[in-house]
Amino acid sequence: MAEATLRVYRGDKDGGGHVDYKVPVAPGMVVLDALHYIQGHQAPDLAVRWNCKAAKCGSCSGEVNGRPKLMCKTRMDDLPLDQPITVNPLKTFPIIKDLVTDVSLNYRINKKIPAFTPRENTDWRMQQDDIDRVQEFRKCIECFLCQNVCHVLRDHQKTEEFGGPRFFVRVAGLDMHPLDSVSRTELLKDELGIGFCNITKCCTEVCPEDIHITDNAIIPLKERVVDDYYDPIMWVIRKLTGKK
Amino acid sequence: MSQSRNDLQDRRFGATFRTDSWWTEVLPVIIVFGGFGIYATWRAFQGVSYEFGPYLSPFYSPLIDAEHHWLPAWLSPALLILGAPLGFRTTCYYYRKAYYRAFFLSPPSCAVTGVGAGKYSGERKFPFILQNLHRYFLYLAILFIIILAYDAVKAFFFADGFGVGVGSLVMTVNVVLLSCYTFSCHSLRHIIGGKLDCFSCEVAGGARHKAWKGVSILNERHMLFAWASLVSVGLTDLYIKLLCEGTITDLRLF
């Protein structure tokens, strides 16, 4: 049976480092299986967050050989086994222990977003054509890989000024909903800082649900902000028609 | 234990735990985009070898005051018009990704630390806040598509009547690729229907939904069209330049 070396980050908020573990590689094995093997045979105190092992709960996000991934979806036979496989916690969030990070920042950002607000006397029937777009955004499993890889949060640490891709997806799902009555462009521009996004598409590249975050959520939202704040013709039209 | 906590939080340029050759992703962008920029600038300033028979280089179309009646002799006619297509490509959502990564290294690749930590303002301040004017360059680009389509039709009419030369086909392919690039634009996708929350609630909502779906299909290939049209514009100009200089001859198919 082939053997792999996993170079796993061990530590907490005060510091730490990498430890090498040898793991036998079984057919169909994923990185999370390898970590469970380490927990079961070599390091029972290794902390790793996981739940469904089916790429649907979004718990086991980490960085495998430097790439943000769901560890339950990353097969060992897709990795070069002739060199150590580095397993790190998400870089953007503070470490609690080993591979477990504190992602509560995301819940604080989420609270800034006004919830779904239907119009009064809403007719709850909807056409499929109107709801198609929004359904894509509902696939999000909140693994926060997009938040982790976004360089605005990861490198520039704009955690107070910038919402991040996950929350642009949420706003898109609400703002484009045919029955919602609230405009969130002011929130996007000022509090969620959508202008910090420079469209480098890393969020889309890492999304395990294949949501087209940049093309279908962020860019359309940027265009809505342009409508309301940067387009002089739209400003004149609004003045003439009195429409918001 | 082989590394310290500080290594994991390293935010210096280029810091990454990636083991693949991430830098190879940006090399084609630097070479093709950079090469095109140098070639286009040189050709725009040159002011010669842009018209051969019914063929007109896309860098010089529409041709304004080619005889220099009022245009100073030192000023190439291309310089009067190239701002529009240049602005369209510079503010394009796809190219923004490409050049922010390749030239601004912000970031150079995913999960690789970029430059300018602590000074980053994204597209919130001058000059990058001007990216928000992309839709105005789109309007100009559509105008240019009409002009280039007219040029492509004209390329089939020679001094001796209708005919098909290699140049006619080159110019036709060029305008088709440019059209695909222009009509797959994210701003067009928004304007044509994406801005609506409820298609079925609006006047002509069904037609706008169909148009939005059509642009969305093209939009999925926006990157492909961006590169294909960039290369085709450059090659069309080069073909006409070489014809003008007598380096090659235009093959008449019939």
Query: Does A211 lie in the same domain as A128?
Result: yes
For B163-172, what is each residue's pLDDT tens digit? 999 999 999 9
Query: Does A173 lie in the same domain as A55?
Result: no
End-to-end Cα, chain B, rounded Å: 75
Q: Which residue from A20, A220, A229 is facing B190, i.e. has the nearest CB?
A: A220
Q: Identify the pLDDT of residue A1.
A: 76
Q: How far is CA B226 from CA B82, B174, B178, B252, in A?
A: 17, 12, 8, 30
Q: How far is CA A199 from CA A126, B128, B181, B224, in A?
A: 32, 12, 18, 17
Q: Which residue from B16, B110, B201 is facing A202, i.e. has the nearest CB?
A: B110
Sign of CA dihedral A86, A90, A94, A100: negative
Query: Does A36 lie in the same domain as A8?
Result: yes
Query: Does A110 lie in the same domain as A93?
Result: no
Query: Does A126 lie in the same domain as A90?
Result: no
Pairing of strands A3-12, A85-88: parallel
Sign of CA dihedral B179, B185, B191, B194: positive
Q: Which residue of B has its CA nearest to A130?
A: B198
Query: Does A167 lie in the same domain as A58?
Result: no
Neighbours of B78 (CB within 10 A): 23
CATH code at A145?
1.10.1060.10
How far is Cα A14 from Cα A219, in angstroms, rounded to an integer? 39
Residue ending a domain, choose from A101, A132, A147:
A101
Amino acid at A220: P
Q: How far is B247 from chain A (nearest CA, A)?
A: 42
Query: Does A61 lie in the same domain as A125?
Result: no
B1 contacts in A (CB within 8 Å)? 10, 16-19
Cβ of residue B19 closer than 8 Å to a chain A Cβ: yes
Q: How far is B229 from chain A (nearest CA, A)?
A: 20
Listed residue (A158, A150, A167, A173) closest to A68, CA to CA: A150
Cβ of residue B146 closer than 8 Å to a chain A Cβ: no
Q: Identify the pLDDT of residue A50.
A: 97
DSSP state of A141: -
Q: Identify the pLDDT of residue B1.
A: 44
Per the structure, the complete domain to which residue A22 belongs is given by 3-101
Q: Identify the pLDDT of residue A67.
A: 97
For A69-98, what is each residue's pLDDT tens digit? 999 999 999 999 999 999 999 999 999 999
Tokens coding A222? 């940027």
Query: Does A222 lie in the same domain as A181?
Result: yes
Q: Identify the pLDDT of residue A79.
A: 96
End-to-end Cα, chain A, rounded Å: 66
Listed residue (A77, A81, A66) closest to A30, CA to CA: A77
How far is Cα B155 from Cα B239, in angstroms, rounded to an integer? 13
Tokens coding A206? 């890492």
H-type alpha helices, B132-221: 134-154, 166-182, 186-189, 205-219
Burial of A123 per CB tally in 10 Å (0-12, 13-18, 19+): exposed
Tell me whether residues A195 and B113 touch, CB distance under 8 A.
no
Tokens coding B27? 């090399």
Cβ of residue B21 closer than 8 Å to a chain A Cβ: no
SS3 at position A75: strand
Place of tokens 């959508």: A194
Interface test with A, best of B5, B21, B22, B188 (most A CBs within 10 A): B5
For A111-162, what is each residue's pLDDT tens digit? 999 999 998 889 999 999 999 999 999 999 999 999 999 999 999 999 999 9
At residue B170's C-alpha, the angle toward residues B85 and B150, to 5°, is: 60
Q: How far is CA B43 from CA B46, B62, B155, B240, in A?
A: 5, 15, 21, 12
Q: Which residue from B20, B107, B194 is facing A151, i.e. has the nearest CB?
A: B107
Q: Identify the pLDDT of residue B149.
A: 98
Q: Which residue from A19, A67, A222 is facing B1, i.e. has the nearest CB?
A: A19
Residue ending a domain, choose from A35, A70, A101:
A101
Give the distance from CA A146 to its chain's centroid.
Answer: 3
Query: Does A222 lie in the same domain as A112?
Result: yes
Query: Does A127 lie in the same domain as A68?
Result: no
Q: Identify the pLDDT of residue A244.
A: 65
A91 contacts in B (CB within 8 Å)? 8-9, 111
DSSP state of A15: E
Beta bridge partner(s), residue B165: B252
Query: Does A114 lie in the same domain as A82?
Result: no
CATH code at A14?
3.10.20.30
Q: How far is B94 from chain A (nearest CA, A)?
A: 8
DSSP state of A111: T
Strands in chain B per DSSP E: 51-52, 55-56, 157-158, 161-162
Can you give the pLDDT of all 254 residues of chain B as single tens digits?
444 555 778 888 989 999 999 999 999 999 999 999 999 999 999 999 999 999 999 999 999 988 888 988 889 999 999 999 999 999 999 999 999 999 999 999 999 999 987 789 999 999 999 999 999 999 999 999 999 999 999 999 999 999 999 999 999 999 999 999 999 999 999 999 999 999 999 989 999 999 999 999 999 999 999 999 999 999 999 999 999 999 999 999 98
Domain count, chain A: 2
Q: Identify the pLDDT of residue B73.
A: 85
How far is Cα B202 from Cα B224, in angstroms, rounded to an integer? 33
B200 contacts in A (CB within 8 Å)? 127, 129-130, 178
Q: Identify the pLDDT of residue B117.
A: 75
Cβ of residue B129 closer than 8 Å to a chain A Cβ: yes
Query: Does A23 lie in the same domain as A121?
Result: no
Residue ending a domain, choose from A48, A67, A101:
A101
For A3-12, what is each residue's pLDDT tens digit? 999 999 999 9
